[in-house]
Structure 1
Amino acid sequence: MNLIGNIIWIIFGGFFVFLEYLVGGLILCLTIIGIPFGIQCFKLAFVALAPFGMEFQSSERPTGCVSTILNIIWIFCGGIWIALTHLLFGILLCITIIGIPFGMQHFKLMGLAFTPFGQEYSRK
């Protein structure tokens, strides 16, 4: 079921979300300061390419307050807009019964896009 959901996701917009994260990551990596944020964009790109069957959890590794500080900077420098975009697409997709599974994936991506530092993902 995850394979079918991911194929439909890619055909109907998931590939464009992947490309947006990828281009954003490349632009952020042009500066030394933006490299950590660009790496998070690359992680988000590959999660957004096939979100069905992915699980997110807080990192087990001790990072101290670094991930919190980076999440705060991320939120103010664009993370809030990315999360709001996923929220809007999730609401629009949940209007129809067929779109509910895809809307739920946008809600899942919204949480990850809001605070990506200190998060790990894995396949079910």
Structure 2
Amino acid sequence: FGSLRAYPLRQLRRLASALHDRTLPLDQPTVHVLVRQLMYHIGVLNDDSPPRLLWREGWKSEGDVLETLWRELSSLADELAEKRREHKAVLLLGEMVAYLADWHPPCSDVARQFATMTSTV
């Protein structure tokens, strides 16, 4: 999973793939750091006024990476709802989906699912 951050324009696609394949040990602190670095990556700015983050240009396209991440995070929320021992994963995934909700509003409902899970842990 070290290749998640290898190329900025593909980071979210690689994250979506890793979540789909369930290959990330979401209870590990090092994975939390890696995922947070990936999510909050600044990178290169475009030439617009005001400048925007270049690597987030395609985020709003229908059927693109945000929709895929939303589906994967929604699936994980359903999967983790009854797994009380997975509280570290719930915290990370909840933070991630809440952040993505700024760009993809359906993520807000999934963020609420994760928030509800944290109140029962």
- Assess same fold via TM > 0.5: no
Q: Could you tell me the TM-score, scaled by structure 1's length? A: 0.39
Higher relative contact order (CA 8 A, sep 6+): 1
